[in-house]
Amino acid sequence: MGVRRGERWIVRHVDITVDRGQLIYLIGANGAGKSTCAKAILGLLDIDEGTIERMSSLEVGYVPQRLALNPTLPLTVRRLMTLTGRFPKDHIESALAAVGLDRLGDPPVTTLSGGEFQRLLLARALIHRPDLLVLDEPAQGVDTAGSGVVLDLIQGIRRDLRCGVLLISHDLHAATSTGDDVVVLVPHEHDEPPPARPDPPAHLSRREARKL
Amino acid sequence: MLDDFLIRALLAGIGIAMVAGPAGCFIVWRRLAYFGETIAHSALLGVAIAVLVNLHLVIGIFVTAVVVVLAMYYLERRDTLPTDTLLGLLSHGGLAVGLVLLSFFPDMRLDLQGLLFGDILAVSRLDLAVVWGGGAIALGMLWWIWRPLLAATVSPDLATVARLHPERALLVFGILLAAVIAAAIKIVGVLLIVALLIIPSATVRRFTSSPEQMAAGAAVAGVIAVAGGLLASATLDTPSGPSIVVTALAVFLVTRLGRPRREVNAR
Segment A42-74, tens digit of pLDDT: 988 888 888 888 888 888 999 988 888 888 999
Interface residue B153 vs chain A (CB under 8 A):
yes
In the chain, the amino acid numbered B186 is K
Q: Which residues of B touch A111 (CB under 8 A)?
A: 263, 265
Nearest CA to A151 out of A164, A162, A167, A163 is that of A167
**What integer pLDDT is reported at residue B259 of this predicted model?**
62
Q: Which residues of A touch B151 (CB under 8 A)?
A: 83-84
**Vertex B259 angle, CA B253 and B264, to 5°:** 115
In a domain, B265, yes or no: no
Range(s) of the domain holding residue A39: 1-13+27-53
Q: Is the pLDDT of residue A124 over 90?
A: yes
Could you give the number of structural domains in chain A? 2
**What integer pLDDT is reported at residue A148 of this predicted model?**
77
Interface residue A88 vs chain B (CB under 8 A):
no
Query: What pLDDT band is residue A210 in, cutting at 50, 70 and 90?
Result: very low
Q: Which residues of B touch A40 (CB under 8 A)?
A: none
Interface residue A64 vs chain B (CB under 8 A):
yes
In a domain, A3, yes or no: yes
In a domain, A192, yes or no: no
Same domain, A45 and A142: no
Question: Which of A44, A110, A212 is the closest to B174 by Cβ?
Answer: A212
Q: Which residues of B touch A64 (CB under 8 A)?
A: 155, 157-158
In a domain, A150, yes or no: yes
**What integer pLDDT is reported at residue B168 of this predicted model?**
93
Q: Which of B34, B90, B154 to mutate to test the interface with A (most CBs of A within 10 A)?
A: B154
In a domain, B32, yes or no: yes
Question: Which of B155, B161, B205 is the closest to A60 by Cβ?
Answer: B161
Same domain, A31 and A96: no
Same domain, A3 and A100: no
Contact A107 B265 (CB under 8 A): yes
* pLDDT, average across residues A82-92: 91
Same domain, A82 and A32: no
- Residue pairs spanning A and B at CB distance below 8 A: 106
**What integer pLDDT is reported at residue A54 of this predicted model?**
83
Q: Which of B34, B75, B150, B155 to mutate to test the interface with A (most CBs of A within 10 A)?
A: B155
**What integer pLDDT is reported at residue B54 of this predicted model?**
86
Interface residue B161 vs chain A (CB under 8 A):
yes
Same domain, A41 and A107: no
Could you give the number of structural domains in chain B? 1
Same domain, A63 and A156: yes
Contact B157 A108 (CB under 8 A): no
pLDDT averaged per 10 residues in sequence order, chain B, 267 residues: 75 93 95 92 90 86 93 85 90 91 78 81 83 90 95 93 92 93 86 92 93 96 95 89 94 83 47
Same domain, A44 and A7: yes
Please give the residue that has the higher pLDDT: either A114 or B31: B31
**What integer pLDDT is reported at residue A211 of this predicted model?**
34
Question: Which of A62, A72, A75 is the closest to B161 by Cβ?
Answer: A62
Interface residue A117 vs chain B (CB under 8 A):
no
Contact A76 B209 (CB under 8 A): yes
In a domain, A106, yes or no: yes
CATH number at residue B223: 1.10.3470.10
Same domain, A67 and A160: yes
**What integer pLDDT is reported at residue B121 of this predicted model?**
75
Minimal-distance CA residue of chain B relative to A205: B82
Q: Which of A5, A42, A52, A73 to mutate to test the interface with B (most CBs of B within 10 A)?
A: A73
Q: How far is B234 from chain A (nearest CA, A)?
A: 34
Q: Which residues of B touch A210 (CB under 8 A)?
A: 76-77, 156, 167
Same domain, A75 and A125: yes
Range(s) of the domain holding residue B118: 4-256
Q: Which residues of B touch A106 (CB under 8 A)?
A: 266
Picking from A108-122, A167-181, B228-242, which range would have the lowest pLDDT averaged per residue?
A: A167-181
**What integer pLDDT is reported at residue B262 of this predicted model?**
54
**Of A83-87, A128-132, B25-29, B107-111, which has the strongest mean pLDDT?**
B25-29
Per residue, what are the HEC states of chain A?
CEEEECCEEEECCCCCCCCCCCEEEEEECCCCCHHHHHHHHHCCCCCCECCCCCCCCCCEEEECCCCCCCCCCCCEHHHHHCCCCCCCHHHHHHHHHHCCCHHHCCCEHHHCCHHHHHHHHHHHHHCCCCCEEEEECCCCCCCHHHHHHHHHHHHHHHHHHCCEEEEEECCHHHHHHHCCEEEEECCCCCCCCCCCCCCCHHHHHHHHCCCC
**What integer pLDDT is reported at residue A141 of this predicted model?**
64
Contact B209 A105 (CB under 8 A): no
Spell out a b/e string for B227-263, using b for 16 or more CB atoms within 10 Å of the CB, else e: bbbbbbbbeeeebbbbbbbbbbeebbeeeeeeeeeee
Interface residue B262 vs chain A (CB under 8 A):
no
**What integer pLDDT is reported at residue B88 of this predicted model?**
92
Interface residue A46 vs chain B (CB under 8 A):
no
Q: Which residues of B touch A86 (CB under 8 A)?
A: 147
Question: Which of A83, A105, A209 is the closest to B154 by Cβ?
Answer: A83
CATH number at residue A150: 3.40.50.300
**What integer pLDDT is reported at residue B265 of this predicted model?**
45
In a domain, B264, yes or no: no
Q: What is the mean pLDDT of chain A?
A: 81
**Residue A59, by phi and psi: left (phi above 0), alpha (psi -120 to 50) or beta?**
beta
Same domain, A80 and A130: yes
Same domain, A73 and A157: yes
In a domain, B262, yes or no: no
Same domain, A49 and A63: no
